[in-house]
Amino acid sequence: MTIDGPTLDLIENALLNVRFEMDEVVRRAAMSPMIREQHDEFPMVCDRHGRMVVGQFGSYIPGIVERLRGDVRRGDVILFNDPYLSQGSITHCNDWCVVMPIFFEDRHIGFSSMFGHMMDVGGKVAGSQVNDATSIWEEGLRIPPIKIVEGGVLNRTALDVILNNSRTPDMNESDLMALIAGCRTAETRVIELCTRFGADPYEAACAALIERTRVALGALVRRYIPEEPVTFTDWVDDDGMGNGPFRIVLTVWREGDVCHVDWTGTDAQAPGTINFRINDGLCKLFFGIYLIMAFDPSILFNDGVRDVFDVTLPEGSLLNPRFPAAVSNRLNVHVRFFDCMSGAMGQRAPDLAMAAGYGASPYFVFSGTDDHDRYFQFVELLFGGLPGRQRGDGLDGHSWWPLFRTTPVEYTEAHYPVRVTRYVPVADSGGAGLHRGGTGVEKTYEFLSAGVFTINDDRAITNPWGVAGGRAGGRGSKLLVRADGREVPLPSKVDNLAVEPGDRFVFRTAGAGGWGDPLERPAERVAADVRSLIVTPDGARDDYGVVVDAGGAVDDEQTAALRTRLRERRGGLAPFDFGDPPGRPERFDASVVA
């Protein structure tokens, strides 16, 4: 049946509200800081075919239902986390996903689903994100699609087995029940919509919303994607085992309304844990959201993007590893995926051009036993600089995922034997440009109890590149300061490093590249950055040609003369600035810091 415009708008906005209500229910019910504080969870509402109508990451449901041979009934809740059995829809074992069928009266009307990052799922290190694993067997418990709730009855035996393999069973159980509660919220709201409008109009609206996205994205592809193939290459530092840098190659072109995305030339899968097991559907969705956010955020993000893209993912590569390759730190490749998209598409479509960002999902895990003989495990994601772009400066110390939040210092210090003694932007880490790249952050943790910590980051030996004359952003770095004052530089990837009370750890993330000629940036904006401690006076002079006095004011005469000299010395603008030559990957050696 057809659906009229006003009814379609009402159902669309109701479903968008459902999606945000799911988020809020989960955050209020979850226990772990990963979900409760940092919001590492993703909801979606799908039609009865399993196609995402509203959400973030796109539907994996058809493959999951197929594995269950179509046996999905009212009151069931499906749980899984296996990257290979889910065909790359879930990309590492920490992400537990629940799927719930929705019935209106006796009619199957759709699905709700959520996945969230669990604190710990077993494996060889606390937090389950291992740097030196060589197979997924070392990364924690793999859960195939199972009915954790069947016909409304919890499968307690299965849940006990699963929780018995985690260092944080109470938090995992709480977070799992929160995800289920979020899905039940969607179930309630969809039933209300069907009661109000009818099941047939509801299904017609879902189909119309998906088709509308397909048509709108087709128009963006025709406008912004060139017919001539364009190729771009970027690099991931290392895999934590001394191997790297690893090359990622993307070629993009258009045929009619279809954008072809070809990753041929990307390096073979890594021995370590940075492999990104992505399926072609998820790849299409990432390209779709890139175009939507760049040009028309009013377009609803859903599975309508699938018909607009054609994807080639070479088997056995970093982006399509063969089982049982390790994948727990796949976000280093995942985020570089976005940099490659910008680098390729921006060459022929300047409106798409933006620089590279901080290029990872930096995380820190500190665990041990406190003074009351209780096990603790603190997990935190850190953020870095987002790219400078044609529309303006990059964001400072921000997440790639828009809804993520930093963990409040008050929460950290109230619940864990950790004191945060410093949390500031890293000056001059944002690449200079007409529009400056975002800065990285420096966060210093003082340990109040003995324990071990694990870290993973990237962009420590490669720079986030600048574009259209913009400069490369600053690299990240790590430093352990022992209680006796001894300083020990660390690589970006470390497992199970022992620390004692009074030791401090300085975690600096990378910035982002700049966009456009830094000598064209208004001098007063540079001075404002100096006053905000985002740019140093030396950086203002050397990178922007702006002379700032001790009071933070611009010296106009000296600035004009300096900019003239710098323009003459520099010559033309380079399309990309990749910064300093890459360093050599380093494998962590615990004996060096013992």
**Whole-number pLDDT of residue 46:** 96
- Residue-wise pLDDT tens digits, 311-326: 999 999 999 999 999 9
CA distance 18 to 7: 16
Please check the confidence at residue 542 and state whether its pLDDT lies above 90.
yes
To the nearest whole number, what is the mean pLDDT of the chain? 94
**Whole-number pLDDT of residue 54:** 95
**Whole-number pLDDT of residue 129:** 94
Compute how many other C-beta atoms are within 10 angstroms of the C-beta atom of residue 402.
10
**Whole-number pLDDT of residue 594:** 66
**Whole-number pLDDT of residue 68:** 87
CA 7 to centroid of chain Cα atoms: 35
Compute how many other C-beta atoms are within 10 angstroms of the C-beta atom of residue 66.
11
Please check the confidence at residue 57 and state whether its pLDDT lies above 90.
no
Compute how many other C-beta atoms are within 10 angstroms of the C-beta atom of residue 137.
12
Whether residue 581 is preceded by a cis peptide bond, meaning omega within 30 degrees of 0, is no
**Whole-number pLDDT of residue 64:** 86
**Whole-number pLDDT of residue 286:** 86
**Whole-number pLDDT of residue 66:** 85
Please check the confidence at residue 65 and state whether its pLDDT lies above 90.
no
Q: Say which range, 28-32, 64-68, 464-468, 483-487, has the weakest mean pLDDT.
A: 64-68
**Whole-number pLDDT of residue 240:** 93
Distances (CA, A) of 181 to 48, 99, 174, 519, 540: 20, 11, 10, 53, 51
SS3 387: coil
Query: Rg of the Cα trace of the chain?
Result: 24
Q: What is the mean pLDDT of residues 83-95?
A: 87
- Residue-wise pLDDT tens digits, 407-435: 999 999 999 999 999 999 999 999 999 99
CB 579 within 8 A of CB 465: yes
**Whole-number pLDDT of residue 104:** 97
- Residue-wise pLDDT tens digits, 323-357: 999 999 998 898 888 899 999 988 887 767 899 99
Please check the confidence at residue 184 and state whether its pLDDT lies above 70.
yes
**Whole-number pLDDT of residue 462:** 96
Strand order across the beta sheet in which 375-381 lies: 375-381, 363-369, 451-456, 493-499
Decide the pairing of beta strands 230-236 and 41-47.
unpaired
Q: What is the mean pLDDT of residues 503-519?
A: 97
**Whole-number pLDDT of residue 2:** 85
Please check the confidence at residue 16 and state whether its pLDDT lies above 80.
yes
**Whole-number pLDDT of residue 590:** 73
Q: How would residue 282 be classed by pLDDT, with cut points 50, 70 and 90?
A: confident
Q: What would the 3-class secondary structure string for 217-249 be?
A: HHHHHHHHCCCCCEEEEEEECCCCCCCCCEEEE
Please check the confidence at residue 85 and state whether its pLDDT lies above 70.
yes
**Whole-number pLDDT of residue 220:** 92
**Whole-number pLDDT of residue 461:** 96
